[in-house]
A and B are shown apart, each in its own frame.
Chain A
Amino acid sequence: MTKQLHRLAPLILVLLGVAGMLGARSLGLGELNAPGPGLWPFIVAMLLTGTGIVLLFIDDPEDYEPWTRGTLGIALGLASLAVFIVLFETIGFLVSAILMLLFWLRIFAREPWRWAVPLAVLGALAFHLVFVEALAVPFPDGIVFAPVGS
């Protein structure tokens, strides 16, 4: 079973392609001399399905890298980015940026606290200055600089 696992990726592509073709057909293909909105997506989805099917058979399993413990770390990193986006929306940039930097510097860069903390705080402050003060990007209201900004 695990030997066939690498065929998962082409399979997903084929499914995507078929879904695209069905979706495009329901949009209306029109006629060749008067193409509807679905004609082009249909052609493209057909190409995707076709190449996906070819890959199901010829793809080289060596292209696929094994899943390691590092992979788990990446999942954690992705989760941290998702958390960052949510925090950013609710409590603003500065605090979420400090937390996110701290997390990455500690967990992935394995910096000691004495480096991670100042780097995170100064880094977040620098970005705040660049984006909010210099470029005037309207970040969501923060809990630190909110009174200043509004």
Chain B
Amino acid sequence: MGILEGIGQGFSVALDPTNLLYVFIGVLIGTVIGVLPGLGPTATIALLLPITYEIEPVTAVILLAGIYYGSMYGGTITSVLLQLPGEAASVVTTFDGYQMAKQGRAGPALGIAAIGSWVGGTVSVIGLVLLAPPLADLAVEFGSQEYVALTALGILLVTYLGTRHPVKSLSMAALGLLLATVGQDLITGTNRFTFGSISLFDGFDFVAVAMGLFGVGEILYNVEKTEKAQALKSKISNIWPSRKDLRDSSGAIARGSVMGFFIGVLPGGGGVISSLASYATEKRRAKDPTRFGKGAIEGVAGPETANNASSTSAFIPLLTLGIPPNVVLALIFGALLIQGITPGPQLIDQQPEIFWGVIASMAIGNLMLLILNIPLVGFFVQLLRVRAGILAAFALLVTMAGVFSVNNDIFDMWVVLVFGVIGWLMKKTGFEPGPLVLAFVLGAILESNFRRSMLISGGEFSTFFTRPMSGTLFALMALVIIWSTVQGIRRRRRRSRPSTPGEEDLAATGTTAEPEGTPGAENTDDTEGATTGAPRDGSGSTGATGSTASGAQDGGPGPDRG
């Protein structure tokens, strides 16, 4: 099918009234939870997984994708106005966005972020259209060895990029892979690790695991550090950026689009890393880098463009290779598996309505966000009045009722509760649930391809290294491991910080790569608290309370955690 024909089909799917409604619901929910600090996109998508049973596969993905990129817009609002990033990818926006707000330029900051996000999202959609079909054609040639290599690389990169502690994440990935083996062995029919329980016969339910780890685990963790509701005092006027603002930020938006697009495609990439990388680039390129951190509009435009571009392009590996590049996409992958659809190279040919429909819905969704955001900023900010405790109570009830509705099975509720406890304990002990869930989703694919490769090759491990594609991928993996080990040893020597792309530059400002899709409320560092000078308008005082509150919750800034 040609690209034009595909786009035509995509829009006919996406413009279907039901799908149009779900794009709207998705981006609206996304914006709302982006604003609310307690809930990140991961938790929300996990909580809403049961709903996806009730609707068509393409509609489900449209909804979940809308939540993901919608949250990128929503997170901006609180970052700029209150210095409270609603989700992790907006942390960098607090540096300059909040300073702009203090100078009475909250409107242009939000306006340029919305415009940049729209440009980034649109550029990324175009890139997706151009890049995905040839990539899928290439992937059709892949054998099981390549799948082993690709899946393993995906898991490895997710554990190395965007997490604070690679070894801990790797051990969580191993745990996820082990949990995925529970249940009946698909090839021999042997029951593995079921301990005689019939409920475990089919293994752990993905929805229950994800809802427990992300939903319940995250809610419990946030309840423990109860947050004060924030009140906004500053008025937002003049949201449309001036011609000078647009000229100043056009370069940042262009670079952010391209950078975000490519980082999003990488496994382990996503909104968080791309926004960090864009900020670092803009600061390095600027004629006067000292303006950054004091309200430079490029520092808002670049990262906001990049995080939105990457949240769109992250769909490329999922839709063409069947490899989710980050945790949010892993959840969407799981949602598709539930519907009996395995995303992969065949998706474009066999289910073109899903591939093209989702792409077209993104173009529409981004436009909706632009239209929604500019007039409704004031309304979204009011959402912050919802107290965290109330939110937690209702979210937990939705989780419990929702997970029951999947299989109508009480056992799944207990699974959610147990994994909720595990997720909360993991948060408390610095282990991240992301790699576990990603590995859990990919476990079955990895195992079956591994066993098939072993069968085909007659038990030779060398089969993974002699084929050109899988050999290259394994060489890449070896490089990642060696590089990070060297970095780790150096770090232990210097007691310095972990190094992710662009992080060196951000060391001064005090940011680490938070895992994709987490709510960002706890990541504001107290470094900015120090810069809070005499408030020029009402927003200054709220910001001061915001940063001290978050500093107290966090028990110190993130950077020192190796």
B178 at the interface (CB under 8 A from A): yes
Question: How many angstroms from the CA of A86 to the CA of B401 in the assembled complex?
Answer: 13
Across the interface, do B389 and A65 meet the contact criterion of CB distance under 8 Å? no
Closest B residue to A84 using CB positions: B400
Closest A residue to B428 using CB positions: A65
A16 at the interface (CB under 8 A from B): yes
Q: Contact mask A27-41 → B, CB, 8 Å, 1/0? A: 110011111111111
Find residues 435-477 in chain B having any chain A CB closer than 8 Å to their own CB: 443, 447, 450-451, 454-455, 457-461
Across the interface, do B455 and A51 meet the contact criterion of CB distance under 8 Å? no
Q: Contact mask A61-99 → B, CB, 8 Å, 1/0? A: 011110010110110011001101100110001000100
Across the interface, do A33 and B455 meet the contact criterion of CB distance under 8 Å? yes
- Grouping DSSP codes into helix (H, G, I), strand (E, B) and loop, the B interface class, with mixed when no group exceeds half, is helix
Instruction: Identify 6 new A-B residue pairs, CB closer than 8 A, beyond the known A33-B459, A41-B192, A108-B389.
Output: A35-B455, A40-B181, A59-B167, A71-B428, A101-B397, A109-B393
Contacts of A93 in B (CB 8 A): 401
Partner of A64, one of B192, B223, B224, B429: B429
Given the known interface contacts A78-B421, A109-B389, the answer about A31 and B459 at a Cβ–Cβ threshold of 8 Å is yes
Contacts of B190 in A (CB 8 A): 27-28, 37
B463 shortest CB reach to chain A, Å? 11
Across the interface, do A62 and B223 meet the contact criterion of CB distance under 8 Å? no
Across the interface, do B455 and A109 meet the contact criterion of CB distance under 8 Å? no
| Interchain pairs with CB closer than 8 A, number | 184
Point out residues on B near A: beta carbons under 8 Å: 54, 164-165, 167-168, 170-171, 174-175, 177-178, 181, 185, 187-188, 190, 192-193, 216, 220, 223-226, 387-390, 392-394, 396-398, 400-401, 404-405, 408, 410, 413-414, 417, 420-421, 424, 428-431, 443, 447, 450-451, 454-455, 457-461, 492, 555, 560-562
A47 shortest CB reach to chain B, Å? 4
Across the interface, do B170 and A137 meet the contact criterion of CB distance under 8 Å? no
A116 shortest CB reach to chain B, Å? 9
Question: How many angstroms from the CA of A36 to the CA of B451 in the assembled complex?
Answer: 9
Across the interface, do A51 and B171 meet the contact criterion of CB distance under 8 Å? yes
Closest B residue to A10 using CB positions: B171
Across the interface, do B398 and A127 meet the contact criterion of CB distance under 8 Å? yes
Question: How many angstroms from the CA of A96 to the CA of B38 in the assembled complex?
Answer: 25
A111 at the interface (CB under 8 A from B): yes
A101 shortest CB reach to chain B, Å? 5
Contacts of A124 in B (CB 8 A): 397
Closest A residue to B421 using CB positions: A78
Across the interface, do B175 and A131 meet the contact criterion of CB distance under 8 Å? no
Contacts of B170 in A (CB 8 A): 47, 51
22 contacts between A and B (CB under 8 A): A32-B460, A33-B454, A33-B455, A44-B443, A45-B174, A54-B167, A55-B168, A59-B167, A60-B562, A63-B165, A65-B555, A71-B224, A74-B223, A81-B400, A85-B413, A88-B413, A100-B396, A104-B393, A105-B390, A108-B389, A108-B392, A109-B390
